[in-house]
Amino acid sequence: MKIKVLKNILSANDQRAQENHELFDGHKICAINITASPGAGKTSTIMAAIRALKGEIGIGVIEGDISSSIDAEAVSKEGIPAVQINTGGACHLDATMLSNAFDSLPLAEIDLLFIENVGNLICPASFALGEHKKVLIASVPEGDDKPYKYPVMFNQSDLVILNKIDLLPYVKFDRQRFIDAVRGLNKNATIIEISCTTGEGIERWLEWLATTIDDSRE
């Protein structure tokens, strides 16, 4: 019986996710679902893109967290429309939570929508949101074994960002081991190394976004 209930929940979520995807396409919005462990740099990576692209394209952000509105407030200070979703303890966003936020966003003015998922590398893997692409952010201080510990999330991601590479000289991290692990799980994923502190690699992140936006409109 528990298995049946779980199947029903996931089936209903998938249906709503499809509706979300159709809404994004109808408004010509490229939606990016960003996942990571807490502290890996989701908000910093989003903010780097916002500061580079605002004024050129319309950007919106949906922030998912267990509580607080700190991240949404930081985005709003940049003049970007942002909606905070507090899950009240749930370790992921789901498609219905996402759709409930749409009325608070100027969808007609948005070209690129960042969806910052709850900091977790397990639960978000089971819940589609209707996004066009999945981005997973890992960071050097977390260690090079993250792909081995959370293979499903790495397998599902279109882009894997390795953040905080400015710390490589100070942290025991085997870059090649990390890359080989990602490739072993997901041969098609793009891998980008960045530092939100120094700006290294941010241009590649922006180039990936530009290509993804173009592809979503075809």
Could you read off the pLDDT of 91-105 as tens digits, one per residue? Answer: 999 999 999 999 999
Chain-centre distance for alpha carbon 162:
13
Q: Where are the domains of the chain?
A: 2-216
The pTM for the full model equals 0.93
**Helices marked H in the chain — which ranges?**
2-26, 42-53, 70-76, 95-100, 146-149, 151-156, 175-185, 202-216
- Measured CA to CA, the distance from residue 88 to residue 108 in angstroms comes to 29
Look at residue 3 and tell me whether its pLDDT is greater than 70: no
Task: Classify domain 2-216 by CATH number.
Answer: 3.40.50.300
Q: Quick one: DSSP state of residue 125?
A: G
